[in-house]
Amino acid sequence: MNEYRPSPFNRSGAIAGAPGEVARNKVLRNTYWLLALSLIPTVLGAAVGLYTGINTVMGASPGLSAIVFLVGAFGMMFAIEKNKNNSLGVVLLLAFTFFMGIMLSRLLGFVMGMSNGSQLVMTAFGGTAIVFGTMATLASTIKRDLSGMQKFLFIGAVVILVAALANIFLQLPALMLTISVLAIVIFSAFMLVDLQRVVNGGETNYVSATLAIYLDVYNVFSNLLMLLGIFGGNRE
Protein backbone atom coordinates (compact mmCIF):
# COMPACT_ATOMS: atom_id res chain seq x y z
CA MET A 1 0.00 0.00 0.00
CA ASN A 2 1.24 3.49 -0.79
CA GLU A 3 2.67 5.01 2.37
CA TYR A 4 3.91 8.22 0.71
CA ARG A 5 2.73 11.32 2.48
CA PRO A 6 3.56 14.54 0.63
CA SER A 7 4.65 17.45 2.77
CA PRO A 8 2.21 20.38 2.90
CA PHE A 9 5.25 22.70 2.72
CA ASN A 10 7.60 23.43 -0.12
CA ARG A 11 11.35 23.86 0.40
CA SER A 12 10.98 27.49 1.28
CA GLY A 13 8.52 26.65 4.05
CA ALA A 14 5.48 28.05 2.29
CA ILE A 15 2.20 26.24 2.11
CA ALA A 16 1.93 24.10 -1.00
CA GLY A 17 -0.17 25.44 -3.84
CA ALA A 18 -3.91 25.08 -4.21
CA PRO A 19 -3.88 22.43 -7.01
CA GLY A 20 -2.66 19.76 -4.59
CA GLU A 21 -5.37 20.68 -2.12
CA VAL A 22 -8.02 20.53 -4.85
CA ALA A 23 -6.80 17.12 -6.03
CA ARG A 24 -6.79 15.79 -2.46
CA ASN A 25 -10.32 17.00 -1.82
CA LYS A 26 -11.47 15.45 -5.09
CA VAL A 27 -10.05 12.04 -4.15
CA LEU A 28 -11.66 12.27 -0.71
CA ARG A 29 -15.03 13.30 -2.14
CA ASN A 30 -14.99 10.58 -4.82
CA THR A 31 -13.96 7.99 -2.23
CA TYR A 32 -16.89 8.83 0.04
CA TRP A 33 -19.34 8.80 -2.87
CA LEU A 34 -18.09 5.46 -4.19
CA LEU A 35 -18.05 4.01 -0.68
CA ALA A 36 -21.70 5.00 -0.20
CA LEU A 37 -22.57 3.59 -3.63
CA SER A 38 -20.83 0.31 -2.80
CA LEU A 39 -23.33 -0.35 -0.01
CA ILE A 40 -26.10 -0.84 -2.58
CA PRO A 41 -24.63 -3.95 -4.29
CA THR A 42 -23.60 -5.23 -0.86
CA VAL A 43 -27.23 -5.15 0.29
CA LEU A 44 -28.37 -6.67 -3.02
CA GLY A 45 -25.80 -9.45 -2.72
CA ALA A 46 -26.89 -10.20 0.83
CA ALA A 47 -30.53 -10.35 -0.31
CA VAL A 48 -29.63 -12.74 -3.14
CA GLY A 49 -27.75 -14.94 -0.71
CA LEU A 50 -30.66 -15.03 1.72
CA TYR A 51 -33.53 -15.50 -0.71
CA THR A 52 -31.85 -18.05 -2.99
CA GLY A 53 -30.63 -20.25 -0.13
CA ILE A 54 -26.95 -19.70 -0.89
CA ASN A 55 -26.39 -18.84 2.77
CA THR A 56 -27.73 -22.28 3.75
CA VAL A 57 -25.37 -23.98 1.30
CA MET A 58 -22.44 -22.03 2.73
CA GLY A 59 -23.45 -22.98 6.25
CA ALA A 60 -23.50 -26.66 5.29
CA SER A 61 -20.04 -26.50 3.68
CA PRO A 62 -17.92 -23.98 5.65
CA GLY A 63 -14.63 -25.30 4.28
CA LEU A 64 -15.74 -24.95 0.67
CA SER A 65 -17.24 -21.54 1.44
CA ALA A 66 -13.90 -20.37 2.84
CA ILE A 67 -12.12 -21.46 -0.35
CA VAL A 68 -14.68 -19.70 -2.54
CA PHE A 69 -14.39 -16.58 -0.40
CA LEU A 70 -10.59 -16.47 -0.49
CA VAL A 71 -10.28 -17.19 -4.21
CA GLY A 72 -13.10 -14.85 -5.15
CA ALA A 73 -12.13 -11.99 -2.85
CA PHE A 74 -8.40 -11.94 -3.51
CA GLY A 75 -8.90 -12.56 -7.23
CA MET A 76 -11.31 -9.66 -7.55
CA MET A 77 -9.16 -7.36 -5.41
CA PHE A 78 -6.20 -8.09 -7.69
CA ALA A 79 -8.34 -7.29 -10.73
CA ILE A 80 -9.56 -4.04 -9.17
CA GLU A 81 -6.03 -2.86 -8.47
CA LYS A 82 -4.95 -3.71 -12.02
CA ASN A 83 -7.81 -1.59 -13.43
CA LYS A 84 -7.97 1.15 -10.82
CA ASN A 85 -7.11 3.86 -13.33
CA ASN A 86 -10.03 3.20 -15.68
CA SER A 87 -13.79 2.83 -15.46
CA LEU A 88 -13.53 -0.97 -15.35
CA GLY A 89 -12.03 -0.62 -11.89
CA VAL A 90 -15.25 0.96 -10.60
CA VAL A 91 -17.35 -1.79 -12.21
CA LEU A 92 -15.14 -4.49 -10.69
CA LEU A 93 -15.30 -2.79 -7.29
CA LEU A 94 -19.10 -2.78 -7.34
CA ALA A 95 -19.10 -6.44 -8.46
CA PHE A 96 -16.74 -7.19 -5.58
CA THR A 97 -19.08 -5.56 -3.07
CA PHE A 98 -21.96 -7.61 -4.49
CA PHE A 99 -19.87 -10.77 -3.96
CA MET A 100 -19.04 -9.68 -0.41
CA GLY A 101 -22.75 -9.18 0.25
CA ILE A 102 -23.41 -12.77 -0.81
CA MET A 103 -20.65 -13.96 1.51
CA LEU A 104 -22.20 -11.91 4.33
CA SER A 105 -25.58 -13.60 3.86
CA ARG A 106 -24.53 -16.64 5.91
CA LEU A 107 -23.97 -14.49 9.01
CA LEU A 108 -27.09 -12.45 8.29
CA GLY A 109 -29.16 -15.62 7.98
CA PHE A 110 -27.88 -16.76 11.37
CA VAL A 111 -28.73 -13.44 13.04
CA MET A 112 -32.05 -12.93 11.24
CA GLY A 113 -33.15 -16.31 12.54
CA MET A 114 -33.34 -14.72 16.00
CA SER A 115 -36.44 -12.96 17.26
CA ASN A 116 -34.51 -9.70 17.58
CA GLY A 117 -32.40 -10.26 14.48
CA SER A 118 -33.45 -7.07 12.67
CA GLN A 119 -32.65 -5.02 15.74
CA LEU A 120 -29.21 -6.60 16.01
CA VAL A 121 -28.46 -5.84 12.35
CA MET A 122 -29.45 -2.20 12.80
CA THR A 123 -27.40 -2.00 16.00
CA ALA A 124 -24.36 -3.38 14.20
CA PHE A 125 -24.92 -0.90 11.36
CA GLY A 126 -25.22 1.98 13.81
CA GLY A 127 -22.14 0.86 15.71
CA THR A 128 -20.15 0.64 12.50
CA ALA A 129 -21.33 4.12 11.50
CA ILE A 130 -20.15 5.47 14.85
CA VAL A 131 -16.74 3.83 14.40
CA PHE A 132 -16.46 5.25 10.88
CA GLY A 133 -17.46 8.74 12.00
CA THR A 134 -14.98 8.62 14.87
CA MET A 135 -12.12 7.41 12.67
CA ALA A 136 -12.92 9.99 9.98
CA THR A 137 -12.83 12.77 12.58
CA LEU A 138 -9.56 11.52 14.03
CA ALA A 139 -8.04 11.17 10.56
CA SER A 140 -8.73 14.84 9.94
CA THR A 141 -7.43 16.06 13.30
CA ILE A 142 -4.43 13.86 14.15
CA LYS A 143 -1.28 15.52 12.81
CA ARG A 144 1.05 12.57 13.33
CA ASP A 145 1.57 10.33 10.31
CA LEU A 146 0.06 6.93 11.21
CA SER A 147 1.23 5.05 8.10
CA GLY A 148 3.93 3.31 10.17
CA MET A 149 1.15 1.29 11.85
CA GLN A 150 0.27 -0.45 8.59
CA LYS A 151 2.82 -3.26 8.78
CA PHE A 152 1.81 -4.18 12.33
CA LEU A 153 -1.88 -4.06 11.46
CA PHE A 154 -1.23 -6.18 8.38
CA ILE A 155 0.49 -8.82 10.53
CA GLY A 156 -2.49 -8.75 12.89
CA ALA A 157 -4.91 -9.17 9.99
CA VAL A 158 -2.96 -12.18 8.68
CA VAL A 159 -2.99 -13.76 12.14
CA ILE A 160 -6.76 -13.24 12.36
CA LEU A 161 -7.27 -14.79 8.91
CA VAL A 162 -5.18 -17.86 9.77
CA ALA A 163 -6.94 -18.26 13.12
CA ALA A 164 -10.36 -17.93 11.47
CA LEU A 165 -9.49 -20.60 8.90
CA ALA A 166 -8.17 -22.90 11.63
CA ASN A 167 -11.32 -22.41 13.69
CA ILE A 168 -13.44 -23.76 10.82
CA PHE A 169 -12.09 -27.15 11.86
CA LEU A 170 -11.42 -26.51 15.57
CA GLN A 171 -14.85 -24.96 16.30
CA LEU A 172 -13.65 -23.26 19.51
CA PRO A 173 -16.17 -20.66 20.77
CA ALA A 174 -13.52 -18.82 22.81
CA LEU A 175 -11.26 -18.51 19.77
CA MET A 176 -14.16 -17.24 17.66
CA LEU A 177 -14.93 -14.53 20.21
CA THR A 178 -11.27 -13.55 20.44
CA ILE A 179 -11.02 -13.31 16.65
CA SER A 180 -14.10 -11.07 16.43
CA VAL A 181 -12.91 -8.69 19.16
CA LEU A 182 -9.41 -8.41 17.68
CA ALA A 183 -10.83 -7.94 14.19
CA ILE A 184 -12.95 -4.99 15.33
CA VAL A 185 -9.92 -3.36 16.96
CA ILE A 186 -7.51 -4.03 14.08
CA PHE A 187 -9.83 -3.00 11.27
CA SER A 188 -10.96 0.11 13.15
CA ALA A 189 -7.28 1.09 13.34
CA PHE A 190 -6.89 0.20 9.65
CA MET A 191 -9.84 2.48 8.92
CA LEU A 192 -8.11 5.36 10.69
CA VAL A 193 -4.86 4.81 8.78
CA ASP A 194 -6.60 4.43 5.42
CA LEU A 195 -8.76 7.52 5.94
CA GLN A 196 -5.79 9.60 7.06
CA ARG A 197 -3.85 8.50 3.96
CA VAL A 198 -6.65 9.89 1.78
CA VAL A 199 -7.05 13.07 3.85
CA ASN A 200 -3.30 13.79 3.73
CA GLY A 201 -2.98 13.06 0.02
CA GLY A 202 -0.98 9.85 0.39
CA GLU A 203 -3.57 7.97 -1.69
CA THR A 204 -4.27 9.55 -5.06
CA ASN A 205 -6.58 6.91 -6.52
CA TYR A 206 -10.13 6.88 -5.19
CA VAL A 207 -10.82 3.31 -6.37
CA SER A 208 -7.94 1.94 -4.29
CA ALA A 209 -8.95 4.16 -1.39
CA THR A 210 -12.56 2.96 -1.53
CA LEU A 211 -11.51 -0.68 -1.68
CA ALA A 212 -9.33 -0.35 1.42
CA ILE A 213 -11.91 1.56 3.46
CA TYR A 214 -14.75 -0.72 2.32
CA LEU A 215 -12.85 -3.76 3.62
CA ASP A 216 -12.32 -1.99 6.94
CA VAL A 217 -16.02 -1.14 7.26
CA TYR A 218 -17.09 -4.63 6.13
CA ASN A 219 -14.91 -6.36 8.72
CA VAL A 220 -15.95 -4.08 11.56
CA PHE A 221 -19.63 -4.57 10.72
CA SER A 222 -19.50 -8.35 10.28
CA ASN A 223 -17.52 -8.98 13.46
CA LEU A 224 -19.65 -6.58 15.49
CA LEU A 225 -22.75 -8.37 14.20
CA MET A 226 -21.21 -11.70 15.15
CA LEU A 227 -20.65 -10.54 18.73
CA LEU A 228 -24.14 -9.07 18.97
CA GLY A 229 -25.62 -12.32 17.66
CA ILE A 230 -23.73 -14.34 20.26
CA PHE A 231 -24.34 -12.15 23.29
CA GLY A 232 -27.57 -10.35 22.44
CA GLY A 233 -29.47 -12.77 20.24
CA ASN A 234 -32.79 -14.27 21.30
CA ARG A 235 -33.59 -17.61 19.68
CA GLU A 236 -37.24 -18.11 18.82
Task: Please give the residue range of the domain that contains residue 157.
Answer: 18-232
Contacts 24+ apart (CB under 8 A), 123-129: 123/228, 123/232, 124/221, 124/224, 124/225, 124/228, 125/221, 127/224, 128/217, 128/220, 128/221, 128/224
Instruction: Report pLDDT digits (tens) over 163-188.
Output: 999 998 888 999 999 999 999 999 99
- Cα distances (Å, whole numbers) of residue 176 to 61, 160, 173, 211, 226: 18, 10, 5, 26, 9
Q: Around 114, how many Cα atoms within 13 Å sit in the side-chain half-sphere?
A: 20
41 dihedral zone (left: phi>0; alpha: psi -120 to 50; beta): alpha
**Which value, to the nearest 10 degrees, does the dihedral of the CA atoms of residues 25, 95, 78, 177 take?**
90
Q: Is 224 part of any domain?
A: yes
Q: Is 171 part of any domain?
A: yes
User: Quick one: how far is CA 180 from the chain centroid?
Assistant: 14
Domains contained in the chain, number: 1
Q: Is 4 part of any domain?
A: no
Q: Is the pLDDT of residue 15 over 70?
A: no
In the structure, what pLDDT confidence band is assigned to residue 38 with cuts at 50, 70 and 90?
very high
Q: Which amino acid is at 72?
A: G
How high is the pLDDT of residue 139? 93
Please tell me which residue, 106 or 3, carries the higher pLDDT value.
106
Give the global pTM.
Answer: 0.88
Q: How far apart are CA 200 and CA 97, in angstroms?
A: 26
For the chain, the average pLDDT equals 88
**What is the percent of the chain with per-residue pLDDT over 90, rounded to a whole number?**
68
Q: Is 1 part of any domain?
A: no
Q: What residue spans of 52-172 are helical by DSSP H? A: 54-60, 62-82, 87-112, 117-141, 150-170
Q: Which amino acid is at 186?
A: I
How high is the pLDDT of residue 7? 41
Q: Is 10 part of any domain?
A: no
Please tell me which residue, 24 or 79, carries the higher pLDDT value.
79
Q: Is 218 part of any domain?
A: yes
Residue among 4, 105, 99, 9 at smallest CA distance from 54: 105
Q: Is 3 part of any domain?
A: no
Q: Is 5 part of any domain?
A: no
3-state secondary structure 79-90: HHHHCCCCHHHH
Instruction: Report pLDDT digits (tens) over 84-101.
Output: 999 999 999 999 999 999
Instruction: Report pLDDT digits (tens) over 126-153.
Output: 999 999 999 999 999 998 988 889 999 9
